[in-house]
Amino acid sequence: MDGAGLFSFPHPVDEVSARLVATGVVAQCAGILATGWTPLLVVLAWGFVARVATGPTLSPLGTLVTRVVRPRLSWAVREVPGPPKRFAQGIGAALSAGALIAVAVGAGGTAMVLVAVVLAAASLEAFLGLCLGCHLFRLLIRLGLVPPETCEVCVDLWGTR
């Protein structure tokens, strides 16, 4: 893994761990949509912000997955690039923080729509291995909006090189 220290993000990332974290996000979002419980929305938003800043280090869900759940599974490690996963976590952070702000200003319906978007994206990651944020990240590289050296593996979006 590249980078050490508190404010680093793993590169590469274990795809199995990423999908397990996404499964936890699905459960949190389902709980929020079912109950409207604001403290769970705070936990969701904190988790995303923590994972963007430190990978699994300060994220309760990330820590649970990487230190407790994943080591007990015999599935092979599947390494994928870290930068697109961090970008995807950033989108989740923006959406969940936006939902939290919406609740704070009395726009509960807007908050639930944002949580539903997170639920949909996390479900695709958890159950199908489809990371929408990762695909968007690669498209941004292709469009020249993200420098290719950020993730050289990501440059060849459609396997054309």
Q: Tell me: the pLDDT tens digits for 94-149?
A: 999 999 999 999 999 999 999 999 999 999 999 999 999 999 999 999 899 999 88
Most distant CA pair in the chain, distance: 50
Phi, psi for 151 (deg, rounded to 5) = -160, 90
- pLDDT band for position 51 (50/70/90)? very high
Alpha carbons 19 and 161: distance in angstroms, whole number: 28
Residues 6+ apart with CB under 8 A from 87: 133, 134, 136, 137
Q: Please check whether residue 87 is in contact with residue 151, taking contact to mean a CB–CB distance below 8 angstroms.
A: no
Structure-block tokens of residue 52: 């963007």
Indicate whether 5 pLDDT > 90: no
Burial class (CB in 10 A: 0-12, 13-18, 19+), 28: buried
- Identify the pLDDT of residue 3: 46
Query: pLDDT band at residue 2, thresholds of 50, 70 and 90?
Result: very low
**Phi and psi angles of residue 81, each rounded to the nearest 5 degrees, phi first:** -60, 140
**Predicted structure pTM score:** 0.89
Residue reference for tokens 């705070």: 42
Top-confidence residue, 153 or 25:
25
